[in-house]
Amino acid sequence: MPISSPRTAFPTGFPANPLERRVALARGVLAVERLLPRLWPAFGFFGFYLALALTGIFALVPWPVQAVALAATITAGALALYDGFADFSWPRSLDAARRLERDSGFLHRPISEREDVLVGNDPVARALWELHRSRDLPQKFRIGLPRTGIAGRDPQGLRWYLLIAVAVGLVLARSDTGARLISAFDSGAGAAASLDAWIDPPPYTGLPLTSLRIGDRSVIQVPQGSILNLRVHGAPRTPGLAAGNNAAPRFAGEDGEYSSNVILSTDARVRVQVGGHAIGKWTIQAVPDAAPSIALTAKPVPTEQKATKFAFKGSDDYGIAGVRAVLAPKGGHGKPLVVELPLPESGAKTVDQNSYVDLTGHPYAGLMVTGRLEARDAIGQKGFSGPVTFRLPARVFTDPLARALIEQRQQLATSDAAGRKIVLLTLDALTIAPEKFYQGKNDIFLALRSAFNGVKNAKTDTDIARVETILWETALKLERGGLLSAAEELRKLQIMITAALASGAPQDVIDELLKRYNEAMQKYMAALAANPPAPGEQQPMSPDTKVLSQNDIQTMLDMIKKLTQAGDRQKAAQLLAMLQSMLENMRMTQGQNGDGGQNKALNQKLQKYGNLMGKQRALLDKTFRQQQGQGDPKDGGTQGLQKQQNDLEKELQDSLKGMDGKSAQKLREAGRAMGDAQSALGKKDLSNAGSSQNQALDALRQGAQALADESEGQGQKQGGGQDPLGRGNAPLGNTGVKIPGAADLARARAILEELRRRAAQMNRPQQERDYLDRLLKAF
């Protein structure tokens, strides 16, 4: 009876029919029976090699020997697999059905032939075939275990010895099982290598370095732009390096010592490996530097002396490098005016202060301007405040000649060539009859003639700007007896001292600047006293008015000096800014009890002291240069210096008239020292002359202090000895600046000196000296 079979394979995939699932399982059993025998002896070669690795024997043999064994194992295993799978084929579904029939005891092949089709039209054959198909399949199927026949491939039973060897290796390895299995394929080059790793943040951040620990799996956050330093020791070959998207240069070095530096511009997963063995892995996050923020805390306003007060606060994650104000005329197209504002501390993370800038000398003075503040950090990022519109203060010149010079200056700045001719004629007219109008004012006359010649011979804008400067400075000198010039000098010195404190200038430089500030302050106070408000301009003194005495100012200056010597320069800068704020908002008033004339006389004497000290210091400098052989021929040598000293002594004697008390006593001491200096100069004894001049200068300073005490007594009678901000007799109270006591200052100074002494000892380890240097940089 011919029968055709339309298919010989069942569908692939996991079948839904229970019978087909049994066939698929039988097919899997057949696949195992065909695969396992062909894997031997390849598995045997690899198994015995791993068993040797588990015993730790590879740690005792050189890598070349292990490499030969590994190569032989791989070669033998590959050949065995090639030979075993040469005639391999996957079992068919028909084969699986026949295997299921045999294991289940089905003799008539009800599974493998149930889809066959009868060929022909014989009715008897068809009836017999339909009867055969109508029989129900048995409900129970049985599939036997795989019969691999591996014993035929391994007649000596080596597979059992392999199991014993692996079991012994596992017992010997215990917790080192993973490491020993890895060592089976690792050269071990990284095992002997060590790694030192650390991260240097950018210097401007002021952050310490970050040491990296081997095995640290946490996310390490560092500033963007930090430098990853890697040092590998004992490596038999050049290490490898991966650092994400950062440019990772190859390790450089020889004889087992290698190094590499990576700039961390983005996040990175860093991996250092030697011979395929990782000796260091870290996850590093590069945190970008945020731009600084800044804001005005109050609208800019003018002070009593017409300076512009900028009150602001700002912050930056690593420190503000600079702040400046950018001003432009409202509704105009003029060039922006950029004004740098001093900071009390370089790189401060937060600032909250007031800055005073005199802008009355700029052509925009008196105009409405729109301005904003700009803060910069160390890498040039900028932050801006909101815009604010205000009027720039302008000087009101009351002296007729000063007002005329300012008008000509404005005309010169805004006019063309025709307008300059008018300025030239006006300047020429202002210098008519100098013997009548400029008696005792030769400097003013010479300045005007210099301006006249400057306009006449001007070729460029620079020449015109030079003339404008001359006219402005001359007007300032004329107005109010030089008060405006003294105030501007005081502001310049305050900016210089603040910059020196922030930049870490030497202490002798700070002391010299403070000395100059003290002298400028004395001149400013004298000029302020010599120019009280006019009777019609003077405002009545309210009961709450506070008075700042000369002794209060001197106390603050002494405290600033002590703070700088103790190393606390930030507090010194804050205290200096507070003192400058007091001086900017201070005004002299006549006493209510008729003591104004006496105060004015005392301040005039104080001004004389300042002039005497300035002349004596200049003469001391000339004597020193003469002693060094660098004297100016215009000084006339020792004879000329002797004459100048004689003139100065006569001026001192004139100032003694009508004086008594401690100040007069110090002046007499200064006169005697000047006489000694004059005698020494006559003998060409420059060394003793300089010593006597120093003594004279010290006596003048002590006399100035004595006179300041007298002035303080007058001030306390008028206002109770309190400053304009209401701090009573203690000008440092309620300032927000914590001033350390004398014991704290002495202890800080002793620590600072000890740090300097240790830093100078070259026999100390370099690492310790570097640490000491970092500490000293903070002071």
pLDDT of 291-327, one tens digit each?
A: 999 999 999 998 877 789 999 999 998 889 899 999 9
Residues 89-143 have pLDDT tens digits of: 888 877 777 887 787 777 666 676 666 677 777 888 878 777 766 666 666 777 7
Q: How far is it, in rounded angstroms, from Cα 406 to Cα 484?
A: 14
Residues 652-661 have pLDDT tens digits of: 887 777 666 6
Identify the burial level of 355 via C-beta atoms within 10 angstroms of its C-beta, where 0-12 means exposed, 13-18 middle and 19 or more buried.
buried
Considering only CA atoms, which of 489, 438, 447 is closest in space to residue 472?
Answer: 447
User: Taking residues 437-466, what's their average pLDDT?
Assistant: 83
User: Taking residues 550-576, what's their average pLDDT?
Assistant: 79
Q: Residue 25: is its pLDDT beyond 90? A: no
pLDDT band, very low/low/confident/very high, at 7 (cuts 50, 70, 90): very low
Q: Residue 767: is its pLDDT beyond 80? A: no
pLDDT at 373: 95
**204 Cβ partners below 8 Å, 6+ apart?**
318, 319, 321, 347, 377, 378, 379
Q: How far is it, in rounded angstroms, from Cα 608 to Cα 602?
A: 10
Determine phi and psi for 502, rounding to 5 degrees: -70, -30
- Cβ pair 264, 222 in contact under 8 A: yes
**341 Cβ partners below 8 Å, 6+ apart?**
310, 312, 323, 324, 325, 355, 357, 373
Q: Where do the DSSP E strands lie in 482-569?
A: none
Neighbour count for residue 675 (Cβ, 10 Å): 15
pLDDT at 716: 47
Top pLDDT among 385 and 686 is at 385
596-627 vs 507-530: helix axis angle to the nearest 10?
Answer: 140
Q: What are the residues facing 194 on neighbouring strands? A: 233
- Residue 346 Cα distances to 201, 255, 577, angstroms: 18, 45, 15
Note the pTM of the prediction, 2 decimals.
0.45
Report residue 636 as tokens.
């006339």
Q: Residue 228: is its pLDDT beyond 90? A: yes
Which of 125-130's residues contact partners 24+ apart within 8 Å by CB, and which partners?
Answer: 125/1, 128/1, 129/1, 129/3
Top pLDDT among 337 and 332 is at 337
% of the chain beyond a pLDDT of 90: 12
- Cβ pair 19, 137 in contact under 8 A: yes
Angle at 258 between CA 252 and CA 264, to 5 degrees: 75
Exposure letters 582-601 (e unless 16+ CB within 10 A, then b): bbbbbebbbbeeeebeebbe
% of the chain beyond a pLDDT of 70: 78
Q: Where do the DSSP E strands lie in 250-400?
A: 252-254, 257-264, 268-274, 277-287, 293-296, 301-302, 308-329, 337-341, 348-357, 368-377, 382-384, 388-391
Question: If residue 195 lies in a helix (H) or strand (E), which one and from where to where?
Answer: strand 194-200
Top pLDDT among 322 and 481 is at 322
pLDDT band, very low/low/confident/very high, at 725 (cuts 50, 70, 90): very low
pLDDT band, very low/low/confident/very high, at 481 (cuts 50, 70, 90): low
Most confident of 311-325, 541-555, 714-728: 311-325
- Cβ pair 39, 81 in contact under 8 A: yes
Cis ω before 41 (30° cut-off from 0): yes
Neighbour count for residue 38 (Cβ, 10 Å): 18
Considering only CA atoms, which of 355, 376, 349 is closest in space to residue 297?
Answer: 355
pLDDT at 94: 79
Give the chain's radius of gyration (CA, Å).
Answer: 49
- Cβ pair 246, 268 in contact under 8 A: yes
Q: Residue 427: is its pLDDT beyond 60? A: yes
Q: Residue 602: is its pLDDT beyond 70? A: no
- Let me know how many helices (H) and strands (E) the chain has, helices first: 23, 19
Top pLDDT among 425 and 120 is at 425
Neighbour count for residue 247 (Cβ, 10 Å): 8
Q: How far is it, in rounded angstroms, from Cα 618 to Cα 622?
A: 6
Question: If residue 609 lies in a helix (H) or strand (E), which one and from where to where?
Answer: helix 596-627
Report residue 663 as tokens.
């100040």
pLDDT at 430: 84
pLDDT at 299: 93
Which residue carries 């029939």 as its tokens? 101
Most confident of 397-401, 520-524, 775-779: 520-524
User: Taking residues 552-571, what's their average pLDDT?
Assistant: 80
- Cβ pair 293, 383 in contact under 8 A: yes
**702 Cβ partners below 8 Å, 6+ apart?**
666
Q: Residue 679: is its pLDDT beyond 80? A: yes
**179 Cβ partners below 8 Å, 6+ apart?**
none
- Give the distance between the most distant pair of CA atoms in the chain: 162
3-state secondary structure at position 457: coil
pLDDT at 291: 92
Report residue 296 as tokens.
């005005």
pLDDT at 484: 64
* Region of residue 305 (left: phi > 0; alpha: psi -120 to 50; beta: else): alpha
pLDDT at 519: 84
- Cβ pair 448, 499 in contact under 8 A: no
Residues 690-707 have pLDDT tens digits of: 888 888 877 877 777 777
Considering only CA atoms, which of 600, 595, 474 is closest in space to residue 525?
Answer: 600
Range name among 146-150, 196-200, 372-376, 459-463 with the lowest pLDDT average: 146-150
Range name among 34-38, 327-331, 419-423, 745-749 with the lowest pLDDT average: 745-749
Range name among 174-178, 671-675, 752-756 with the lowest pLDDT average: 752-756
Residues in the chain: 779
pLDDT at 191: 63
Report residue 657 as tokens.
């008239």
* Region of residue 295 (left: phi > 0; alpha: psi -120 to 50; beta: else): beta
Range name among 420-434, 509-523, 529-543 with the lowest pLDDT average: 529-543
pLDDT band, very low/low/confident/very high, at 23 (cuts 50, 70, 90): confident
Most confident of 292-306, 412-426, 606-620: 292-306
Residue type, 18: P
pLDDT band, very low/low/confident/very high, at 286 (cuts 50, 70, 90): very high
Positive/negative CA dihedral, 507, 513, 518, 521: negative
Q: Residue 536: is its pLDDT beyond 50? A: no
Q: How far is it, in rounded angstroms, from Cα 621 to Cα 762?
A: 37
Average pLDDT taken over every residue of the chain:
78
Residue type, 409: R
- Residue 261 Cα distances to 135, 211, 231, 239, 266, angstroms: 83, 14, 9, 13, 15
pLDDT at 717: 47
Positive/negative CA dihedral, 56, 60, 62, 65: negative
Q: Residue 375: is its pLDDT beyond 90? A: yes
Q: What are the residues facing 252 on neighbouring strands? A: 259
Angle at 279 between CA 274 and CA 285, to 5 degrees: 120
Positive/negative CA dihedral, 531, 536, 537, 542: positive
- Cβ pair 202, 226 in contact under 8 A: yes
User: Taking residues 1-14, what's their average pLDDT?
Assistant: 47
pLDDT at 729: 43
3-state secondary structure at position 287: strand
Q: Residue 565: is its pLDDT beyond 60? A: yes
